[in-house]
Amino acid sequence: MSEQNQITVALVGHCGPDSFALQSAVRGFIPKAEVLRINDQGSLDEAMGRLSLLLVNRVLDGGFSQESGIEYIRGLGDDSPPAMLITNFAEHMDEAIEAGAVPGFGKQNMRSPEAETALSNALAMGAGNG
């Protein structure tokens, strides 16, 4: 698979157990995806040019300049890959979408058909970038 076709998903600001579960779920739906666990701003900035999708935690865990995943999404530029908030709370999902996120899913539903559809739709949107 060429680098151009490689799907790279970043798990942004998730704790260890959630990262492990999300990585397993993403790879279950997209077996050849590279899944990166990113818990600091420097690593995220370094990887940004090759990312296909950002799965952002509602409360960022790690070394970020802010705590809110929604505010992080709000600050992304037009050239950023699609970002999706991972949350079980509908009101936070709505707020993230208003801030520029694509529709996501909750941790309780990460292995559901809805999660698979959300990932597929987001990756299809991001395919036109770059």
CA distances from 8 to 51, 53, 81, 102, 124 (A): 5, 7, 10, 17, 13
Enter the pTM of the model: 0.92
pLDDT at 128: 54
| Percent of all residues in the chain with a pLDDT value above 70, rounded to a whole number | 94
Cα gap 80→89, rounded to integer Å: 24
When pLDDT is averaged across residues 94-121 and rounded to a whole number, the result is 96
pLDDT at 130: 43
Cα gap 2→11, rounded to integer Å: 22
pLDDT at 95: 98
CA distances from 104 to 42, 43, 75 (A): 24, 23, 18
pLDDT tens-place string over residues 24-54: 999 999 999 999 999 999 999 999 999 999 9
Domains and CATH numbers, the chain: 3-126 (3.40.50.2300)
